Amino acid sequence: MTYVPVIDESACLAHGDCEEIAPEVFRVEDVATVIGTAPDEQLMEVARACPASAIVLVNNESGQQVYP
């Protein structure tokens, strides 16, 4: 399975935890943006660490939301 991270821009408060954990995947300015990819386990770790719950993970194959 491959997860695709999607930022809920209305929820993102630009805390920067995502960029700290996965700088190859996220860049934070006014809000976070997705700039790359990482293994599913790392993406799940980052999504769970987001204090604003602004990172949604979607299954690339099925299009189903897997987190939150």
Dmax over CA atoms of the chain, in Å, equals 31
- Give pLDDT, residue 13: 97
pLDDT in tens, 1-41: 799 999 999 999 999 999 999 999 999 999 999 999 999 99
Mean pLDDT of 37-55: 97
Structure tokens at 5: 């991270």
Per-residue pLDDT band at 57 (split at 50, 70, 90):
very high
pTM of the model: 0.93
Nearest to 50 by CA among 40, 65, 6: 6
3-state helix, strand, coil in the chain (%, to 5): 20, 30, 50
Query: CA-to-CA distance for 65 and 8, rounded, in angstroms?
Result: 13
Strands 65-67, 32-34: parallel, antiparallel or unpaired by DSSP? unpaired
The answer on pLDDT for 50 being more than 90 is yes
Query: Please, what CATH class does the domain formed by 3-67 belong to?
Result: alpha beta
